């Protein structure tokens, strides 16, 4: 067998939540029976932006904040690939925040995993968009991506897990992966993944989460009800976890590739039909 790259050992600190996130991704890939060579794992910049080195699939290290557009380009160009994008909350909600809402709006077939630790770890501890920032008064509120996702009417899969509840996290990741692979669109799985070095939120978050999966009154397929409930929780500084919302909406691939499947990468097509088409184009400019 041809030797390819050896999986790297994670660079994360002992106790980092990201180990659990990586574990969940690998669990989902195995449970969904996705082969490594058919998987493109793209990651952003930051501590989270190294996960692709550790899994053994095709890995791509995107520019800071640009993992989603890159993943969309790849997923459109080769719809047979399983595309998983991953990154931190700084990468996804700050520098890449603009792309997040447009990606959610487009609903491309991909799984996006956000490792939310509320801090810029690699640059040693600056505030991220999901951290409550103490100001004189009132504090600057953290951004909640589930609430954002619920507000966009074409989102189809929104979930949040926490690394301390690995069984639930694994199942959410698997469902998200299956959602994307079955062509239903984009699955956003945010994971509360504490940074033990710069923002150790384990003690805080463990008591602040509310598991909507275990809440018999929560309706995860009713966008309006889900929004109201998540908003209430967020206003009480509680972090909802579980499957926040799932619904259906045509995916980006449904919209763009339904009539015309993309040309194959190795053979962009010099068929007689293509050639005739080029000649027709040229002819139209003739004088």
* Interface residue list for other proteins (CB under 8 A): 1-6, 8, 36-40, 42, 50, 52-53, 56-63, 65-66, 68-78, 80-81, 98-99, 102, 256-257, 259-263, 265-266, 268-270, 274-275, 277-279, 281-282, 285-287
Q: Which is nearer to other proteins, 45 or 226 (CB)?
A: 45
Q: How far is the CB of 27 from other proteins (least distance, A)?
A: 19
Q: Which is nearer to other proteins, 103 or 163 (CB)?
A: 103
Q: Does residue 158 contact residue 81 with C-beta atoms inside 8 Å?
A: no
Q: How far is the CB of 63 from other proteins (least distance, A)?
A: 5
Q: Does residue 174 contact residue 30 with C-beta atoms inside 8 Å?
A: no
Q: How far is the CB of 247 from other proteins (least distance, A)?
A: 22
Q: How far is the CB of 51 from other proteins (least distance, A)?
A: 12
Q: Which is nearer to other proteins, 65 or 149 (CB)?
A: 65
Q: What is the DSSP string of 118-141?
A: SEETTTTSEE-TTS-B--SSSPBP
Quick one: which of 58, 26, 55 has its CA closest to 169? 26
Burial class (CB in 10 A: 0-12, 13-18, 19+), 216: exposed
Q: Which is nearer to other proteins, 28 or 81 (CB)?
A: 81
Q: Which is nearer to other proteins, 1 or 137 (CB)?
A: 1
Q: Which is nearer to other proteins, 224 or 268 (CB)?
A: 268
The helix (run of H) or strand (run of E) holding residue 58 is strand 58-61
Q: How far is the CB of 226 from other proteins (least distance, A)?
A: 25
240/144 Cα distance (integer angstroms): 10
Q: Which is nearer to other proteins, 237 or 276 (CB)?
A: 276
Tell me which residue has tokens 């908003």. Answer: 231
3-state secondary structure of 47: helix
3-state secondary structure of 42: strand
Q: Does residue 104 contact residue 186 with C-beta atoms inside 8 Å?
A: yes
Q: Which is nearer to other proteins, 34 or 231 (CB)?
A: 34
Q: What is the DSSP string of 222-264?
A: -HHHHHHHHHHHHHTT-EEEEEEEE-----HHHHHHSSSPPPP
Quick one: which of 134, 122, 104 has its CA closest to 251? 104
Q: How far is the CB of 283 from other proteins (least distance, A)?
A: 9
Q: How far is the CB of 89 from other proteins (least distance, A)?
A: 19
64/263 Cα distance (integer angstroms): 29
Q: How far is the CB of 153 from other proteins (least distance, A)?
A: 17
């Amino acid at each position: 067998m041809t030797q390819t790259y050896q999986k790297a050992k994670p660079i994360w600190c002992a106790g980092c939540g990201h180990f659990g996130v990586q574990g969940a991704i690998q669990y989902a890939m195995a449970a969904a029976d996705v082969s490594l060579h058919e998987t493109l794992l793209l990651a952003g910049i930051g501590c989270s932006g190294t996960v692709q080195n550790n899994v053994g699939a095709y890995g791509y290290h995107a520019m800071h904040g640009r993992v989603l557009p890159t993943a969309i380009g790849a997923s459109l160009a080769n719809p047979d690939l399983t595309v998983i994008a991953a990154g931190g909350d700084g990468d996804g909600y700050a520098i890449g925040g603009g792309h997040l809402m447009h990606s959610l709006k487009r609903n491309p077939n991909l799984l996006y995993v956000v490792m939310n630790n509320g801090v810029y770890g690699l640059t040693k501890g600056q505030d991220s968009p999901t951290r409550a920032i103490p100001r004189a008064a009132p504090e600057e509120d953290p951004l909640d991506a589930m609430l954002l996702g619920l507000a966009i009417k074409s989102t189809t899969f929104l979930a949040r897990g926490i690394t301390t509840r690995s069984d639930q996290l694994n199942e959410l990741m698997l469902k998200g992966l299956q959602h994307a692979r079955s062509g239903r669109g984009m699955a956003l799985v945010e994971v509360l993944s504490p940074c033990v070095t710069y923002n150790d939120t384990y003690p805080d978050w463990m008591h602040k989460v509310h598991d909507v999966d275990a809440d018999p009154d929560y309706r995860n397929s009713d966008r309006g009800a889900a929004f109201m409930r998540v908003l209430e929780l967020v206003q009480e500084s509680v972090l909802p976890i579980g499957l926040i919302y799932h619904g259906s909406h045509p995916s980006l691939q449904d919209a763009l590739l339904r009539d015309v499947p993309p040309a194959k990468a190795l053979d962009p097509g010099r068929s007689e039909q293509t050639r005739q088409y080029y000649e027709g184009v040229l002819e139209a400019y003739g004088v």
